[in-house]
């Protein structure tokens, strides 16, 4: 009964198989191998973006921080949600890779930024004199840190506000696959067609050992897309994120995207989240303050139920972490339950059974 995070799950056997097959004799290092080229083509194909520049890195933090560093100056600020991973969970990696940019935090339910919130923040920073950090970029998280998704039209509206101020739009797509699978929209609709300039597409939480793609989309944003791509390569190397045996990472990304496997895996995780939510709702004692739109749920449960679950061996985090199991039985305490592609129906049902007592 592992619901701590999707990164506690195993890698998908298809990807492991691809990694094994990639271990076939010698190959040019640092991405000059045929598997990497194939994986880059695969990304471009899946996103209907034949001119996109595609690079691979091993962690979501590296992807986000390198991407933000590529599109902002050190004296700017990145507009993001208060609960964004880049703000809360990357130990300042964006600050490190941007050379000390700020993050301007925007509120919004379910960790979803609102147009009004973004507009207010943009207005507040409109002065932009020499004493102020300048406006740098918009960063959206899809799916959000509280399990919600943005509809493509939500993204488009926010991106339009950013573009009105000539700001590039970054998307932290650590769980982009889950959002995509949920909405049934095409990857292109979910990204560049909605105004995203650079997408960090994560596979590590959805079947890979470690593989993330940073995708710079063609468009009017990057005057010289090839120059931007080369700059990214230098930044990646300088950050220590250029793998010599890149083929093993590329093989994961390539297989993940092949034949829709990535959406199948994400769909399984989403389905388990739905099943879990339904079971808890059926029990009648859970309260859902956040929608279940991807693969995570954030229900408030009575403390007694948490105790039962812990005794039954369920693994998950209280949200926030520091809520105690000691205290009144009936007090409702919010927790986070994350499903991944390998979460089993049996585990979900066991959790529900323990919860509902």
Among 14, 38, 48, 75, interactor with a second copy by CB under 8 A = 75
Residue 88 CB, shortest distance to a second copy, in Å, is 7
Among 50, 240, 284, 328, interactor with a second copy by CB under 8 A = 240
Decide: is 199 part of the binding site for a second copy (CB under 8 A). no
Decide: is 164 part of the binding site for a second copy (CB under 8 A). no
Residue 167 CB, shortest distance to a second copy, in Å, is 16
Tokens of 130: 């020499």
Residue 20 CB, shortest distance to a second copy, in Å, is 6
Report the site for a second copy in 312-341 (rule: CB under 8 A): 320-322
Report the site for a second copy in 26-65 (rule: CB under 8 A): 26-30, 57-63, 65
Contact 308, 280 (CB under 8 A): no
Residue 152 CB, shortest distance to a second copy, in Å, is 28
In whole angstroms, what separates CA 185 from the centre of its chain? 17
Neighbours of 324 (CB within 10 A): 10
Report the site for a second copy in 249-308 (rule: CB under 8 A): 249
Tokens of 259: 């034949």
**For a second copy, how many residues bind (rule: CB under 8 A)?**
77
Tokens of 3: 């619901």
Among 135, 193, 205, 290, interactor with a second copy by CB under 8 A = 205
Between 207 and 299, whose beta carbon lies closer to a second copy?
A: 207
Among 19, 46, 276, 333, interactor with a second copy by CB under 8 A = 19
CA distance 309 to 304: 9
Residue 153 CB, shortest distance to a second copy, in Å, is 30
128-136: long-range pairs with CB below 8 Å, 24+:
133/75, 133/76, 133/77, 133/101, 133/102, 134/73, 134/75, 134/76, 134/77, 135/76, 135/77, 135/79, 135/165, 135/167, 136/71, 136/72, 136/73, 136/76, 136/77, 136/78, 136/79, 136/98, 136/101, 136/167
């Amino acid at each position: 009964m592992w619901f701590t995070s999707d990164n506690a799950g195993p890698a998908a056997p298809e990807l492991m198989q691809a990694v094994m097959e990639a271990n076939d004799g010698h190959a040019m290092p640092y991405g000059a191998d045929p598997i990497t080229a194939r994986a880059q083509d695969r990304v471009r194909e899946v996103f209907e973006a034949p001119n996109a520049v595609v690079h691979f890195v091993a962690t979501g933090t590296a992807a986000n921080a390198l991407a933000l560093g590529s599109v902002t100056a050190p004296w700017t600020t990145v507009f993001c949600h208060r609960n964004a991973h880049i703000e809360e969970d990357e130990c300042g990696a964006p600050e490190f890779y941007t050379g000390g940019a700020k993050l301007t935090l925007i509120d919004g339910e379910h960790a979803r930024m609102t147009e009004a919130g973004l507009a207010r923040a943009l207005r507040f920073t409109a002065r932009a004199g020499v004493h102020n950090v300048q406006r740098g970029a918009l960063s959206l998280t899809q799916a959000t840190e509280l399990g919600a998704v943005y509809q493509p039209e939500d993204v488009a509206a926010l991106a339009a506000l950013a573009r009105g101020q000539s700001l590039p739009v970054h998307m932290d797509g650590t769980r982009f696959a889950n959002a995509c699978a949920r909405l049934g929209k095409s990857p292109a609709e979910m990204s560049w067609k909605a105004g995203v300039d650079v997408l960090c597409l994560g596979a590590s939480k959805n079947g890979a050992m470690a593989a993330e793609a940073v995708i710079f989309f063609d468009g009017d944003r990057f005057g010289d897309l090839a120059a931007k791509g080369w700059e990214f390569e230098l930044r990646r190397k300088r950050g220590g994120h250029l793998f010599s045996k890149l083929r093993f990472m590329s093989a994961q990304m390539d297989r993940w995207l092949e034949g829709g496997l990535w959406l199948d895996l994400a769909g399984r995780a989403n389905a388990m989240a739905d099943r879990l939510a339904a079971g808890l709702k059926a029990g009648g004692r859970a309260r859902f303050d956040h929608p279940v739109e991807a693969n995570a749920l954030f229900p408030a449960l009575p403390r007694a139920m948490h105790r039962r679950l812990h005794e039954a061996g369920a693994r998950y985090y209280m949200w926030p972490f520091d809520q105690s199991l000691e205290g009144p039985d009936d007090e409702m305490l919010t927790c986070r339950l994350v499903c991944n592609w390998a979460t089993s129906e049996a585990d979900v049902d066991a959790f529900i059974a323990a919860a509902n007592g």
